[in-house]
Amino acid sequence: MLKSADRPRIHQLKKKIDDFRKKCRSAGLKVTEQRLAVYKALIETAEHPSADAVFKKVKQIFPGISLDTINRALRTLNKINAAFVVEGSGDAKRFDGNLQPHQHFKCVKCKRIVDFYHRPFDNVKVPVSIAGKFEVRRKTVYLEGTCNSCRHKH
């Protein structure tokens, strides 16, 4: 049964899927059923799933799919900006001994993490909606992109 409240949401999903097809085409990529299934799995949840979680979900509809396909599809989505990897997860763990308030910029190409200091960011207030439900121990503004030396290569 379809609640009338669901209709705008469903319309939104349709639009996203349409946009996705366009993004694929303009990148010269094929819209395979698998790829689409991975994309749907991703936009239907707010859980920031791992590749394995997506795998489990997609397998319900597509029992033959392999984890590699999921991984490849997710990498592709990331490349065409249809999804992104949450705050630099993956790769090797990186450590920081600087306990003073400071922020990070990360170059997605050379993986370099640069500290920067910007007084206003030190004082970001945790919104009440969070402060009530969680005990916040660390807060930081995280920027991601490409550093000049990587951008000027090639």
Contact positions vs DNA (CB under 7 A): 24, 28-35, 50-52, 62, 64-69, 71-73, 75-76, 90-93
- d(CA 21, CA 27) in angstroms, rounded, equals 10
Distance between the two ends of the chain, CA-based, in angstroms? 54
The one segment of 2-10, 25-33, 58-66, 71-79 that binds a copy of itself by CB under 8 A: 71-79
* Least distance to DNA, CB of residue 95, Å: 9
Q: What's the CA gap between 98 and 102, in Å, rounded? A: 8
Could you tell me which residues are beta bridge partners of residue 115?
A: 104
Q: Are 1 and 39 in contact (CB under 8 A)?
A: no
According to DSSP, the residues that pair with 106 across neighbouring strands are 113, 144
Residues 6+ apart with CB under 8 A from 92: none
Q: How far is the CB of 1 from a copy of itself (least distance, A)?
A: 26
Smallest distance, Å, CB 119 to DNA? 32
Greatest distance between any 2 Cα atoms in the chain: 55
Taking CB under 8 A as the rule, does residue 97 contact a copy of itself?
Answer: yes
Tokens 């916040």, located at residue? 136
Stretch that binds a copy of itself, among 2-10, 28-36, 58-66, 73-81 (CB under 8 A): 73-81
Q: Tell me which DSSP letter residue 29 carries.
A: -
Using the rule CB under 8 A, is 62 a contact of a copy of itself? Answer: no
Span near a copy of itself by CB under 8 A; candidates 2-10, 28-36, 55-63, 124-132: 124-132
* # residues near a copy of itself by CB under 8 A: 67
Given the rule CB under 8 A, which residues bind a copy of itself? 39, 42-43, 46-52, 54, 74, 77-78, 81-99, 104-108, 112-116, 118, 121, 124, 126-127, 129-130, 133-148, 151
